[in-house]
């Protein structure tokens, strides 16, 4: 049943070559894949090139050796048990390829102008060959032509497409299918019309192959196959890009006759507008986590996911901004309460670590949380309100010097990140907010600057200094002068322990002393030139 025949080669007759038949994992016979076919064609052409012009006569023993079962192109017969299972589905299968004799004067480097390089014909049979009453010819790519011997009653029963074709004329001896995109899967899908347990045959297939079968079944209106493919896709895990391929394939079906919703529910929910509540719950869990490693890993993951979401929204309404700012306010309230407790008289003099450590840990936790939330807001270009919230924390800034630098330096990291964001244009707070931010928080940042340089690995001095300088230069010239002169006094005292704002100082100098002179001399210089 599963064997294929090779006719004996006689002088002057047409040659018939074996083409390996592809077999699916569960033993289902189908036509060769194009890759296998092209490999066979290449091997045949390679062998033909190296043949002499007048080959000697082939003896009988050599021809028998060529068609012996030990040939590498010949497949081993399936076991008897497999044969009994397959006999209901396919009873007859032959595979033949035809080619005309090459012209005697063909040169070795020139391709032969015969049918062998242009067309390969394959014959496939399903069911009992003696009862087949219909031929279906498939014309595929690369010159592959497949002739299927099938039964009209089975095809018309399983497929509305074939039922419509066969109802137009009776009897119909042959159906031609031109420009078939996927001949291999087409043949396999027709073979599934002969199967009783289609689900079991699909179970050993991969998701991409089932999607190919699904596409052909949909074009043939093969309802049973469509349903089995959808049941498979609903139950099997999707890996990597398979999810997008499955969803795009399933969405093409308009009605839910086959239970498409069960597949779509894997990627969509029926709950109306759930993101805000869900995100709020996740944010609360992460921000209040007691395990440092787990908290940091989830912060990194969520920052990555929210960045991806920000790229997809592309400036549209952000559903999670309100949730993010609620979390910011909660963390800010907790930070201020911890600062108040740590700034109480005698708190730092208490030698009991059991009293001090929880408060200091809470300060570090809330400052880290705020820094993380600010990073998310800056990435989404919605951090203007955060800059205002931070600029108005006058009480927190007054309590800042009362705590040791090791406990408060993360608060200065928040200030530094705001200056970097303003300098890069990631946020555009108002002039009053920028003035207030520099007035309230620049000096605390200068006080902690030496510690930040040597105690924080992620602190980038050049980036922070450029951000501070650019923020100062966005203010009116009088404000620039007052801030930079105050900075100059600190810089001349502590040197590298203070931010180096020389670039901003140069710009302010030119604006103050050179630009007025150039503006005054400009008209006079033009008159002199005239």
Residues β-bridged to residue 121: 145
Average pLDDT for residues 416-429, to the nearest whole number?
93
The bridge status of strand 144-150 relative to strand 120-125 is parallel
Of all residues in the chain, what percent carry a pLDDT higher than 70?
69
pLDDT score of 147: 87
Check whether 125 has a pLDDT greater than 90: no
Check whether 229 has a pLDDT greater than 80: yes
Average pLDDT for residues 63-91, to the nearest whole number?
35
> For residues 120 and 37, is the Cβ–Cβ distance under 8 A?
yes
Check whether 60 has a pLDDT greater than 70: no
Reported as a single tens digit per residue, the pLDDT across 297-333 is 999 998 888 887 766 555 444 557 888 999 999 999 9
pLDDT score of 312: 56
Candidate from 91-105, 210-224, 235-249, 429-443 with smallest mean pLDDT: 91-105
243 vs 19, higher pLDDT:
243
pLDDT score of 419: 96
Q: How far is CA 288 from the centre of its chain?
A: 31
pLDDT score of 337: 94
Distances (CA, A) of 97 to 28, 30, 94, 440, 502: 21, 16, 10, 87, 83
The 3-class SS string of 56-123 reads CCCCHHHHHHHCCCCCCCCCCCCCHHHHHHHHCCECCCCCCEEECCCCCCCCCCCCCCCHHHCCEEEE
Check whether 76 has a pLDDT greater than 70: no
Residue appearing with tokens 């800056």: 378
Enter the DSSP assignment of 153: H
Candidate from 245-254, 320-329, 460-469 with smallest mean pLDDT: 245-254
pLDDT score of 526: 60
pTM for this entry = 0.60
Helix axes 223-235, 207-219, angle to 10 degrees: 150
pLDDT score of 234: 84
Nearest to 30 by CA among 109, 89, 80: 89
Q: Indicate the average pLDDT of the chain.
A: 75
Those residues with Cβ within 8 angstroms of residue 383's Cβ, 6 or more apart along the chain or in another chain: 374, 377, 418, 421, 426, 427
């Amino acid at each position: 049943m599963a064997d294929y025949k090779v006719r004996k080669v006689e002088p002057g007759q047409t040659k018939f070559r074996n083409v390996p038949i592809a077999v699916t994992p569960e033993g289902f016979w189908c036509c060769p894949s194009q890759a296998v076919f092209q490999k066979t064609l290449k091997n045949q052409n390679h062998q033909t090139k190296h043949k002499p012009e007048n080959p000697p006569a082939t003896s009988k023993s050599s021809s028998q050796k060529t068609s012996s079962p030990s040939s590498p192109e010949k497949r081993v017969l399936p076991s008897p048990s497999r044969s009994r299972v397959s006999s209901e589905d396919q009873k007859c299968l032959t595979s033949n390829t035809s080619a005309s004799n090459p012209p005697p004067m063909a040169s070795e480097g020139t391709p032969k102008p015969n049918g062998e390089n242009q067309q390969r014909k394959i014959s496939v049979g399903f069911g009992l060959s003696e009862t087949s009453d219909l031929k279906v010819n498939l014309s595929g790519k690369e010159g592959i032509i497949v002739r299927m011997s099938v039964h009209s009653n089975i095809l018309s029963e399983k497929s509305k497409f074939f039922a419509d074709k066969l109802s137009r004329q009776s009897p119909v001896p042959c159906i031609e299918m031109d420009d078939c995109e996927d001949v291999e899967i087409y043949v396999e899908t027709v073979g599934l019309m002969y199967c009783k347990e289609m689900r079991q045959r699909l179970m050993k297939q991969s998701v991409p192959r089932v999607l190919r079968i699904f596409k052909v079944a949909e074009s043939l209106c093969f309802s049973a196959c469509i349903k089995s493919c959808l049941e498979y896709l609903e139950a099997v895990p999707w890996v990597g890009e398979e999810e997008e391929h499955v969803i795009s394939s399933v969405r093409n079906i308009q009605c839910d006759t086959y239970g498409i919703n069960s597949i779509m529910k894997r990627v969509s929910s029926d709950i109306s507008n759930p993101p805000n509540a869900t995100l709020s719950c996740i944010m609360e869990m992460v921000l209040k986590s007691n395990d440092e490693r787990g908290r940091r890993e989830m912060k990194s993951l969520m920052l990555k996911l929210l960045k991806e979401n920000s790229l997809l929204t592309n400036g549209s309404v952000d559903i999670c901004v309100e949730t993010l700012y609620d979390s910011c306010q909660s963390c800010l309230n907790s930070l201020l309460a911890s600062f108040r407790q740590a700034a109480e008289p005698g708190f730092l003099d208490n030698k009991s670590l059991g009293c001090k450590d929880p408060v200091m840990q809470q300060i570090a936790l809330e400052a880290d949380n705020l820094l993380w939330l600010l990073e998310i807001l800056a990435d989404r270009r919605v951090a203007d309100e955060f800059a205002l919230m931070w600029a108005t924390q006058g009480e927190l800034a007054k309590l800042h010097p009362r705590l040791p630098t090791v406990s408060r330096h993360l608060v200065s990291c928040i200030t530094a990140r705001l200056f970097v964001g303003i300098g890069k244009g990631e946020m555009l707070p108002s002039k009053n907010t920028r003035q207030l931010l520099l007035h309230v928080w620049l000096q605390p940042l200068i006080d902690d600057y030496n510690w930040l340089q040597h105690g924080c690995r992620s602190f980038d001095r050049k980036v922070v200094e450029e951000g501070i300088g650019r923020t100062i230069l966005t203010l009116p010239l009088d404000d620039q002068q007052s801030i930079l002169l105050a900075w100059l006094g600190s810089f001349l005292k502590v040197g590298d322990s203070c931010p180096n704002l020389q670039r901003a100082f140069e710009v302010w100098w030119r604006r103050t002393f050179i630009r007025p002179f150039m503006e005054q001399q400009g008209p006079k210089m033009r008159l002199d030139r005239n």
